[in-house]
Structure 1
Amino acid sequence: MTPTLEKRIDAFKRLDEVKLAFAKRDWFPGTSGNLSIKLADDPLLFAVTASGKDKTKLTPEDYLIVDGDAKPVEPTALKPSAETLIHAVVYKRIPQAGACFHVHTLGNNLISELYFGQRAFTIQGQELIKGLGIWEENARISVPIVENYADIPKLADAIGKVITPEIPGVLIRNHGIYAWGANDFEAKRHLESFEFLFEYHLRWLQLRHAAVPTIS
C-alpha cells in the first residue's frame, strides 16, 4: 500500500515548513535531527526525512515513505534517517500521534545530562506547560530521559517503555528530544514548549547560582 500523490505532496510540503522553521533556530546542527508525519495507521505508513540532508535547504529528495518497520515502501535511492525506527515506535505506542519531530539543541542536551540520574526532568508552575495541553493550575510535568544507546533497536525499545500519552516528549541523554502531537501543528507547539522550558530552567539555574553570595 502506498499513499496517494496528493497525500504525499501535502505531507512533504508540511515537513518543508517545519524543517525550515526549525533550521532557522539552528536546531539541526550537522544534518542532525529528523521529522515525520503519519500517513496511515493500518498498515502504518509515514513520511520521514532522508538521511544526511542539509535541513537548511529544500530539494526534491528530502523525504521518503516508510512502513512500521522503518523500511521504504517504494523503490528509492534514499535512506531513511538511522533513527526512523524511533518514530515507528512512537506511532505504535501513541496511536493518536500524527507527527513526530526530533531536534538537537544545547538546552535539551544539557537538561538530559543534568537530570539523567533521576531518569526524568521535572518542572512545575511554568506558564509554557500549557503549550503541552496541560492546563491545571501550578501543573507539574516529568519528561522521561533514556540512555543514548548506539544500538537503535535497543534505543527505540527503551523509549517505547517510558513514553505515555500524557507527556508528548522524551529526552535521550546527550542526544536530543523527540516530541509528537496529533498533527504537525501540535507537534511543533509541543516541541517549542519543551525547548522554552529547558532554556528557562537552565537560565534559572544560572541566575540562582549567581545570586548566591560568596563567603570569605
Structure 2
Amino acid sequence: MGGMGFDEAAAAVIQAGRAAAARGWVPATSGNFSVRLDGGRMLVTRSGRDKGRLVPADLAEVAIDGPAPAGTSAETPLHQALYRDDPAIGAIFHVHSPASMLISHLRAGDGVLALAGWELQKAFAGITTHDVTVTVPVFPNDQDTVALAGRVSAHLATPRPGGQVAAPGYLLAGHGIYAWGATPADAERHLDAFDALFSLSLELRRIAG
C-alpha cells in the first residue's frame, strides 16, 4: 500500500493529536502518532511534544526499515514493526486514555481482553456482526521497545482460534492503547470505539462486583 505525501500526513497527525488532547487522552506529552508516507517511510511525532499543540516541526520522517533516529518517540520501533508487518496499515495512533490504562492494568495478568456481544464492535474495519469475539492483546510494558516490537509482531502473526477476530489494536499494561487503520480516519474511529468499549467493560465489571 502506498502512503501519503508529507503535507497531508502532517495535517492528519496534527489533527489526531489535537482531537486526542481535547478528550484528555494524551496528558502531559504522552502518546505518539504516525502516518505512512510514500517511499517506505513514515511520519511520526518527536519525543516530548505536546500532542495538542503539534506543528510540522514536531514531526519526523523515518524509514520504516531503518533505525529510529534520535529525537523521535522512544516507541518509534513499535510503529515501524506494524507498518513492516502489514502493508494495509496507513496510520497508527497511541494514546493514554484513562479507560485504556485502567483496563490494561486489570487484564495484564490475562494477556488478552475479549470483547463480545457489543454492537459497537462493528466500528472495527472488517467486522460486520456483534456475534463474534474480538480479542485485544495485553502486553507487559517494556522500555526496550525493539524487543517489545518483536514480541508484538510474533503474537499478531499467530492465527486466532475459531470464532475470534483480532482487534485493530493492542494494549500495553499501564500504558494505554495502540490502534491502527488503513487511513487516519480509520485509526481515529478505532480509537473512539476502543475507548467506548473499554469504558463499558469497566462499568460492567463494577456493576457485576
TM-score by length of 2: 0.88
Letter in 2 for 1:144: P
| Structure 1 vs Structure 2 CA RMSD | 1.9
Please say if 1:93 is aligned against 2:90. Answer: no
Task: Provide the secondary structure at the position in 2 that maps to 1:30.
Answer: coil
Select which of 15, 18, 24 maps to 1:17.
15
Select which of 147, 155, 159 maps to 1:162.
155
Distance 2:136 2:29 in 1: 25
Distance 1:179 1:29 in 2: 18
Change in 2 beyond 3 A, CA 1:203/1:183: same
8 Å contact 1:70–1:88 — kept in the other structure?
Answer: no
1:128 alignment counterpart: 120
Change in 2 beyond 3 A, CA 1:189/1:174: same
Please say if 1:65 is aligned against 2:57. Answer: no
8 Å contact 2:135–2:166 — kept in the other structure?
Answer: no
Q: How many matched pairs?
A: 198
Select which of 24, 35, 38 maps to 1:37.
35
Distance 2:145 2:128 in 1: 35
Q: Shift of the alpha carbon at 1:128?
A: 1.1
1:83 alignment counterpart: 75
Distance 2:26 2:88 in 1: 26
Q: Shift of the alpha carbon at 1:137?
A: 4.0
Letter in 2 for 1:152: T
Distance 1:66 1:84 in 2: 9
After superposition, give the CA deviation of every residue in 1:20-53 in whole Å (9 maximum; x if it has no partner).
111100111120100000013xx52000011111
Task: Provide the secondary structure at the position in 2 that maps to 1:150.
Answer: coil
Distance 2:115 2:132 in 1: 8
After superposition, give the CA deviation of every residue in 1:70-109 in whole Å (9 maximum; x if it has no partner).
435xxxxx71111011000011112210000000122111
Task: Provide the secondary structure at the position in 2 that maps to 1:56.
Answer: helix
Distance 2:91 2:56 in 1: 21
Which piece of structure 1 moves more, 168-177 or 155-164? 155-164
Q: Shift of the alpha carbon at 1:60?
A: 4.1
After superposition, give the CA deviation of every residue in 1:115-167 in whole Å (9 maximum; x if it has no partner).
12221001211111011131124221110111111211111111112225942
Letter in 2 for 1:62: D
TM-score by length of 1: 0.85
Q: Which runs of 4+ in 1 moved over 6 A?
A: none
Larger radius of gyration: 1
8 Å contact 1:163–1:170 — kept in the other structure?
Answer: no
Q: Which runs of 5+ in 1 are unaligned?
A: 73-77, 210-216
Change in 2 beyond 3 A, CA 1:121/1:166: closer
Q: Shift of the alpha carbon at 1:182?
A: 0.3
Distance 1:67 1:166 in 2: 27
Please say if 1:192 is aligned against 2:185. Answer: no
Letter in 2 for 1:120: V
1:141 alignment counterpart: 134
8 Å contact 2:77–2:146 — kept in the other structure?
Answer: yes
8 Å contact 1:112–1:173 — kept in the other structure?
Answer: yes
